């Protein structure tokens, strides 16, 4: 049984669900576009031997939020240049602006 959780922020409003595990314990799970396995591989490549589910969910949410912000800024740059196509250079330029 899934029910909506109380959102702590505007971002969580559309990305959080409360779930009840079969053993009756409840918790909050953040739903992201990035797979948990891919995020876990990123963390392990950084040197971690073991990774908790909470760590992968948290990093996935942060990466998605940061990536969406960069994509919006890059879109503004491609619009300013009169292009419909967003290019890698737009993403790199947006990333450089916010270092």
Residue 28 burial class via C-beta count within 10 angstroms: exposed 0-12, middle 13-18, buried 19 and up: middle
Residue 55 lies in a domain: yes
Residue 57 lies in a domain: yes
Q: Compute and round to an integer the Cα radius of gyration of the chain.
A: 17
Residue 12 has pLDDT above 50, yes or no: yes
SS3 17: strand
Q: pTM to 2 decimals?
A: 0.68
Residue 8 lies in a domain: no
Residue 33 has pLDDT above 50, yes or no: yes
The CATH number linked to 68 is 1.10.20.10
Q: Structurally, how many domains does the chain consist of?
A: 1
Residue 69 lies in a domain: yes
Q: Give tens-digit pLDDT for 41-86.
A: 999 999 999 999 989 989 999 999 999 999 999 999 999 999 999 9
H helix intervals, 1-99: 10-15, 36-45, 53-80, 88-97
Residue 38 lies in a domain: no
Residue 80 lies in a domain: yes
Residue 25 has pLDDT above 80, yes or no: no
Mean pLDDT computed over every residue of the chain: 80
80 lies in which domain range?
Answer: 51-99
pLDDT for residue 18: 43
Residue 64 lies in a domain: yes
Residue 4: CB atoms within 10 A of its CB come to 9
Residue 99 lies in a domain: yes
SS3 29: strand
pLDDT for residue 32: 78
């Amino acid at each position: 049984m899934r029910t909506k959780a109380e959102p702590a922020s505007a971002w969580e409003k559309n990305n959080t669900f409360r779930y009840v595990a079969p053993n009756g314990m409840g918790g909050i799970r953040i739903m992201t576009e990035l797979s948990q396995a891919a995020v876990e591989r990123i963390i392990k490549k950084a040197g971690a031997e073991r990774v908790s589910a909470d760590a992968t969910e948290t990093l996935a949410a942060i990466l998605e939020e940061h990536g969406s912000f960069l994509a919006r800024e890059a879109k503004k740059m491609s619009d300013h240049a009169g292009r419909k196509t967003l290019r890698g250079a737009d993403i790199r330029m947006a990333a450089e602006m916010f270092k």
